[in-house]
Amino acid sequence: MDCVFCEIIKGNIPSTKVYEDDFVVAFNDLNPQTPVHVLIVPKKHIASANDLVEEDAELVGRVFLAAKKIARQLGLESGYRIINNCGKDAGQTVMHLHFHMLGGKTLGEKII
């Protein structure tokens, strides 16, 4: 399987990791859109949010618990935004489920 995030998780592609536990890893985005732009990624290969199954329910919760810890660690006490792009219309480019965590400045206009 040719998945860039699986390779990052295995350590075969370098990244700047900011968080890791048994289920979730988080690293800086290669092309940051905000002063803090972290990708929070389950270690299990799941192609997109559309490919989640019942047994992944707890894993998604763990992603958000990791986000809370990362926010504290990176000093995002004034807030942050989490975005998941799912599929072609949303512009998903890496087919391994990931959540963008954006912060470090007042974020721009909200989409919703």
Tell me the Ramachandran region of residue 87: left when phi exceeds 0, alpha when psi lies from -120 to 50, beta otherwise: left
Contact present, 101 and 37 (Cβ < 8 Å): yes
Residues in contact with ligand 5GP, shown as a per-residue x/- string from 68 to 107 under the rule CB under 6 A: -----------------x-----xxxx-------------
Q: Which of 44, 45, 62, 81 binds Zn ion (CB under 5 A)?
A: 45
Site for ligand 5GP in 8-47 (CB under 6 A): 13, 15, 27-31, 39
| DSSP-derived secondary structure for 31-47 | S-SSSEEEEEEESS---
Is 45 annotated in the active site? Answer: no
For the sheet containing 24-28, what is the strand order?
A: 17-20, 24-28, 36-42, 99-103, 80-83
13 binds, among Zn ion, ligand 5GP, none (CB under 5 to 8 A by kind): ligand 5GP
List residues binding ligand 5GP (CB under 6 A): 4, 13, 15, 27-31, 39, 85, 91-94
